[in-house]
């Protein structure tokens, strides 16, 4: 999702919103950007995330540095497991930092105003090993999805095969072990690719484990769309590099604007 901040009024608020703010949202959705103060909000963790997602609230969450570390951890964990889609820049950048640290990537000072320090990030990883490993697993497996997309564009299907599941006919599907778990990770992993430069930096380190995630890769589970629509539109160095290497321009994709994570 792209936010043109030049044409938006930033509203500092808490959730639940006041009635007049909800009215403002529905009448001026393209002109407002809500920054939700997490510390002062009555809703926390999943409650806050569900609320913002259900309203499709254009905005972000402000996590005050004075918030207890446990509260920060709980919010990030809730977002990493959330199946409601809502792009929240501050939390996406926190997750990117977690992934960088887990993979031992030197990312310098590219993340401005991080929610967690490096030491806190390392603690989060230690306390949430399974959750972080799952995210690493699916992010690394985007190599597989990239090959799957390219292979799908090259497939020639005869009349007999047309009645079969084209996913299962894809040679990449046949090549890698399968994961078919709706809740393996939250759906907001798709927005991490919108962080400028993320793909180039993240995929500079070799993958650890590769699988074909049947549900996440093939189902229309992202607000009625499939992963292809988001993956093709994002700032995705991995896909672009593969397509250039193999001599493809766009695999039949229409020209679209690059999505960016909105600035705070």
Q: Is the pLDDT of residue 156 over 70?
A: no
Residues 6+ apart with CB under 8 A from 47: none
Distance CA 263, CA 101 (A): 22
- Write down the pTM of the prediction: 0.86
Residue 143 within a domain = yes
* φ/ψ of residue 260, rounded to 5: -130, 150
Distance CA 167, CA 177 (A): 14
pLDDT, residue 262, reads 45
Q: Number of structural domains, the chain?
A: 1
- Cβ distance 119 to 134 under 8 Å? no
Tens of pLDDT, residues 229-241: 888 766 677 777 7
Q: Is the pLDDT of residue 96 over 50?
A: yes
Distance CA 27, CA 56 (A): 13
Q: Which segments of the chain does DSSP mark as H helices, in order? A: 19-27, 45-55, 69-80, 89-102, 118-127, 129-140, 142-154, 166-169, 171-175, 198-202, 214-218, 227-233, 237-246
Higher per-residue pLDDT: 65 or 169: 65
- Cβ distance 166 to 157 under 8 Å? yes
Tens of pLDDT, residues 10-22: 999 999 999 999 9
DSSP 151: H
pLDDT, residue 254, reads 40
Residues 6+ apart with CB under 8 A from 252: 153
- Containing structural domain, residue 70: 5-246
| pLDDT-wise least confident of 7-11, 23-27, 209-213, 257-261 | 257-261
Q: Is the pLDDT of residue 60 over 60?
A: yes
**36: Cα within 13 Å, side-chain hemisphere:** 26
Average per-residue pLDDT in the chain?
A: 86
Residue 256 within a domain = no
Positive or negative torsion for Cα 206, 212, 214, 217: positive
Residue 263 within a domain = no
- Which of 259, 264, 257 lies closest to 33, judged by CA? 264
């Amino acid at each position: 999702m792209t936010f043109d901040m030049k044409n938006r009024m930033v509203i500092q608020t808490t959730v639940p919103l006041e009635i007049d703010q909800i009215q403002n949202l529905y009448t001026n959705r393209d002109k407002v950007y809500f920054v939700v103060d997490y510390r002062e909000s009555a809703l926390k963790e999943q409650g806050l995330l569900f609320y913002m997602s259900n309203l499709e609230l254009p905005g972000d969450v402000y996590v005050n540095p004075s918030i207890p570390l446990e509260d920060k951890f709980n919010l990030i964990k809730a977002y990493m497991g959330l199946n409601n889609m809502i792009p929240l820049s501050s939390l996406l950048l926190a997750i990117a930092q977690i992934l960088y640290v887990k993979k031992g990537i030197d990312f310098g000072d590219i993340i401005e105003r991080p929610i967690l320090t490096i030491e806190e990030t390392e603690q989060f990883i230690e306390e949430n090993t399974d959750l972080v490993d799952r995210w690493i697993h699916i992010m690394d497996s985007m190599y597989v999805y990239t090959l799957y997309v390219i292979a799908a564009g090259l497939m020639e299907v005869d009349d007999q095969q047309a009645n079969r599941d084209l996913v299962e006919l894809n040679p990449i599907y046949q090549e890698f072990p399968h994961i078919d778990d709706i809740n393996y990770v939250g759906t907001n992993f798709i927005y991490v690719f919108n962080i400028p430069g993320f793909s180039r930096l993240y995929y500079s380190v070799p993958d650890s484990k590769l699988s074909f995630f049947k549900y996440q890769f093939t189902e229309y589970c992202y607000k009625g769309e499939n992963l292809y629509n988001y993956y093709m539109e994002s700032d995705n160095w991995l896909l672009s590099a593969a397509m250039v290497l193999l001599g493809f321009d766009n695999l039949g994709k229409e020209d679209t604007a690059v999505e960016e994570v909105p600035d705070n």
